[in-house]
Structure 1
Amino acid sequence: MKSCLVVDDSSVIRKVARRILEDMSFAITEAEDGEQALRACLDHMPDAILLDWNMPVMDGIEFLGKLRKLDGGNAPKVVFCTTENDVGHIAKAIRAGANEYIMKPFDREIVEAKFQEVGLI
């Protein structure tokens, strides 16, 4: 079973993402911010990361930069999931190492399409 780390400071978003991803046969781990997510990746590097941009403690861009420097940190497929929708933000996320980008609010169809595009399903 593939694993996915869902990183978002909103418990509602984490719950919605968990339901969608579990239905897609992913084992889910959750983190409320980038710092917790980094610790989770050090414990077990996931196959995929659904990542929020704006979070307390450590935001998504900072987390992604640190993740990609870890041993094995290039392996997870990272899908940003955020309300930041301008071209500049999307370009910054891709330059930082994101594989794909999803806008909030999202649904199962969008998540499945993006995960399929990056080869996770």
Structure 2
Amino acid sequence: MSKKTAIFGATTNPSRYAYLAAERLISHNHEIVPIGIKKGNIFGTSILDLREKPDIKAIDTITMYIGPQNQAEWEEYILSLNPKRIIFNPGSENRSLAEKASRRGIEVLNACTLVMLGNGLF
């Protein structure tokens, strides 16, 4: 089943994990919504400008590739998207945001999207 996934920290840099996640999500037939502060296009999809807080509907999963020190200003926006779950990839773990998300009934995972996809656990 396809899971519409917002990639926070999306990039056109092929050496970054966020780029690899976009590639793998597509190869597993998941719709991606790349969101970041750098403009560009990955796999035919434009990166939405995080600073504009784009209104995105029906997000299943947010996969986080932004460090916790840079997440605070986006917390309310992230929560307003009301995803079913947030995956905090290694280096993006954020206890404060995770607790707020959990209180809203959002599943929180400190995990690696790439490993989850590889193991069929996504």
Normalising by the residue count of structure 2, what TM-score does the alignment of the two structures yield? 0.59
The number of residue pairs the alignment matches comes to 103
**For the Cα contact (< 8 Å) 1:52–1:81, is it kept in 2?**
yes
Deviation at 1:78, TM superposition (A): 1.0
Deviation at 1:21, TM superposition (A): 1.2
Spell out the pairing of 1:1-121 with structure 2 (5 A cutoff): 1-8=2-9, 10=11, 11=13, 12-33=16-37, 36=50, 39-40=53-54, 42-54=55-67, 59-68=70-79, 70=80, 73-83=81-91, 90-97=94-101, 99-102=108-111, 106=112, 108=114, 110-112=115-117, 116=121, 121=122
SS at match of 1:78: strand
Q: How far apart are the structure 2 equivalents of 1:113 and 1:27?
A: 17
Structure 2: which amino acid aligns with 1:39?
A: K
How far does the alpha carbon of each residue in 1:20-57 deviate from its partner, in whole angstroms, 9 at most, with x for none?
A: 212222111211149618733x14342111112328xx
Q: How far apart are the structure 2 equivalents of 1:111 and 1:63?
A: 25
Structure 1: which amino acid aligns with 2:53?
A: R
Structure 1 segments of 4+ aligned residues over 6 angstroms from their partners: none
**For the Cα contact (< 8 Å) 1:22–1:28, is it kept in 2?**
yes
Normalising by the residue count of structure 1, what TM-score does the alignment of the two structures yield? 0.60
Deviation at 1:113, TM superposition (A): 7.7
Structure 2: which amino acid aligns with 1:36?
A: L
Q: Give ranges in structure 2 of 5+ residues lacking alignment.
A: 38-47, 102-106
**For the Cα contact (< 8 Å) 2:53–2:77, is it kept in 1?**
no
Between the aligned residues of both structures, percent identity stands at 9
Structure 2: which amino acid aligns with 1:60?
A: Q
Q: How far apart are the structure 2 equivalents of 1:45 and 1:37?
A: 20
Pick the structure with more helix per residue: 1
